[in-house]
Structure 1
Amino acid sequence: MQRTALTSYAHLPRAHHDRHVLTSTVDVFGVAHWLLAERAPQPGGDVPPFDALVVSVHPDGHVERTELNAVRARWPHLDRLPDAGFVVAASRARRHKDANQVQVFDALGRETSSFSVGDAIEHLLVDETGHIWVGHFDENPAGIRRWSATGRLAWTSDDAAIPGLFDCYALNVSGTAAWACPYTDFPLVEIHPDRPVRVWSNRIRGAHAVAAHGDRVAFYGGYGKEQDRLAHAELTETSVKPTDAGLLTLPDGSAPGRRRAIGRGSRIYVQAEPFTAWGVFDLNS
């Protein structure tokens, strides 16, 4: 089976390896971010607010550090806003009052607002205009929604006629648009907030990240032994036509094991435990 190795993309500077990685992401402009705490969250009970550090590594290697004050999320999602502020959100809303689930911080790390986007966040990705796309897993029927950075609901999948949208397995946000591949039917969906949603039927099941470029798409992940699968396909008028499949490996050729994966346009970024480095696959390379 064909093996494709990720290209090394960004590394957390070694000076910060003594801190615990709460989460990490790559934003819409290609900057990698790590949200770090002094120690790992302890199981059970509420978490008192704590200060956290965001380390940002730009594609040219430039490093920024931003201290965030009074973070409340135990298992957070993170992304950066175009004004250099940050969004931190708790994946579960049950431990938080509605107004506290999502925290918005300015470029100096001060909280400027908070609001709720609903329980069971699977993906949280910010687009080029600063809107926040949220894909939910199956404990919340909200599906996919787009929010302003002040908590105004700007788009919802409720009336989008997306078949079998029970769990947003894969979400890719690039520019101001999104691609999704949701459970249970796994259609490929292209979402532009100002025009009707496009839907292609799809036989590739279980992917947790998707990349798109022109009429070509790639799906990463799957069930069981297909967790490292990289499947290529072409778009017809109404369906996804698989062309070939192989394995996506770390840059050294090994399997990722526990990993995070993020889709951004033509790129899929993958980060394996201990979550200090990002690799990238680019469908356009």
Structure 2
Amino acid sequence: MRAERLTPYARLPRAYHDLDVLHSTVDAFGRAHWLLREQLKPSGPYDAVIVTVADGGSYPTQLSSVLARFPRIDSLPDGGFVVADTRSCGGDDQVQVFDALGRPSWTFRVGDGIEHLLTDESGDLWVGYFDEGVFGDPLSAPGARRWSSTGAPLWEYRPPPGTDWIADCYALNVDRDVTWVYPYTRFPLVEVRGSGPLHARTTQVRGASGVAVRRERVAFFGGYRGRRDQLTLATLTDTSVDTTGTVRLTHPDGTPLPPRRRVVSRGPRLYIQEEPRIEWLVFEIGDS
């Protein structure tokens, strides 16, 4: 099988390597962010720093009184950030919004079991949930939802004809004007565009952890049964996503990827991160 090498994308500056990496992501504008704190683990609210890497430089944003024990982060268009706790079993607000100076502004709840948290260019939050949330919390039950940055519910997944309800949101891609949902159990690729009806397409790919889309071209990353480093290439038709080939993704030097890594899906790009979580690599679907 042909190999496709990832490209280095963003790296945490060395000055911050002695801090704990709590979470990291790449936002809707292509900026990489790391949420960091001192290695001493406090029992209550803690101070943290978000380090942003973009355009060849980096800058920190100090956060105060962070509550999340298992955080997910993303940026907001006004320079602020959203920090959400993956778990919310007790019903408490789990999402904190911080302004551009790192001050906590307000909180709200979006449901237990956050697997994916991605903001779009307008600052809305797209959330995909894993099975414990879907089957344990009414807010998470749709499997994928959209919220405003003030906590107003804007949209929730309702299965289009021929598909099931979401049991686990395996992959979520938030692009400029379209969002793609790839859910368990049947693994359709569902197109969410504005307020129009959902467009579901069948796929033969099972268990992927990331999906990239550029016009009619699609790439799924990962899968079951030894396919964790496999990239499945496909094309969109009106009703299906048809596989055209497979390649193996590798490090930039050609060495294999480890089994444990994180994936952020943004339009035609797959951003991939592994331990110790100080660097992002990228694969992008080209124009041809």
| Alignment TM-score > 0.5, same fold | yes
CA gap 1:68/1:102 in 2 versus in 1, 3 angstroms:
same
Question: Equivalent residue for 1:138?
Answer: 131
Q: Does 1:53 align with 2:28?
A: no
In 1, are the aligned partners of 2:142 and 2:165 still within 8 Å (CA)? no
Distance in 2, matches of 1:164 and 1:224, equals 24
Residue in 1 that maps onto 2:72: 77
Q: Contact conserved, 1:122 with 1:168, CA < 8 A, in 2?
A: yes
Amino acid at match of 2:273: Q
1:59-208 → structure 2 map (5 Å cutoff): 60-94=55-89, 97-99=91-93, 101-139=94-132, 140=134, 141-158=141-158, 160-161=160-161, 162-208=163-209
Cα gap change, 1:174 to 1:40, in 2 (>3 Å):
farther
Confirm or deny: 8 A CA contact 2:160 2:199 kept in the other structure: no
Does the C-alpha gap of structure 1 residues 70 and 32 become closer, same or farther in structure 2, counting only changes over 3 Å?
same
Pair 1:228-2:229 in alignment: yes
Any idea what SS the aligned residue of 1:202 has? coil
The answer to whether the 8 A contact 2:142-2:166 is kept is no
Unaligned runs of 5+ in 1: none
When the two structures are superposed, what TM-score results if normalisation uses the length of structure 1?
0.94
Distance (whole Å) between structure 2 residues aligned to residue 219 and residue 164 of structure 1: 21
Q: SS of the counterpart of 1:273?
A: coil
Secondary structure of 1:226's aligned partner: coil
Q: Which amino acid aligns with 1:250?
A: H
- In the alignment of these two chains, the number of paired residues is 278
- DSSP 3-state at the match of 1:15: helix
| Bigger mean CA offset, 156-165 vs 129-138 | 156-165
Shift of 1:179: 0.7
Residue in structure 1 matched with residue 138 of structure 2 by the alignment? none
Structure 1 stretches of 4+ with a deviation exceeding 6 A read none
Q: Map Cα deviations across residues 178-222 of structure 1 (whole Å, 9 max, x no partner).
A: 111111100011112321111100111110100001111000011
Q: Is 1:148–1:154's contact at 8 Å kept on the other side of the alignment?
A: yes
Describe the shift of the 1:20–1:157 C-alpha distance in structure 2 as closer, same or farther (beyond 3 A). Answer: same
- Contact kept in structure 2, 1:164 and 1:185, CA below 8 Å: no
Q: Letter of the aligned partner of 1:253 in structure 2?
A: G
Measure how far apart 1:75 and its partner are: 1.1
* 1:223-262 paired onto structure 2 within 5 Å: 223-257=224-258, 258-262=260-264
Contact 2:160–2:200 under 8 Å retained in 1: no
Instruction: Normalising by structure 2, report the TM-score.
Output: 0.93
- Percent identical pairs in the alignment equals 51
The answer on whether the counterparts of 1:49 and 1:71 sit within 8 Å (CA) in structure 2 is yes
Distance 1:6 1:74, change over 3 A: same
Separation in structure 2 between the aligned mates of residue 106 and residue 252 of structure 1, nearest angstrom:
40
Partner of 1:33: 33
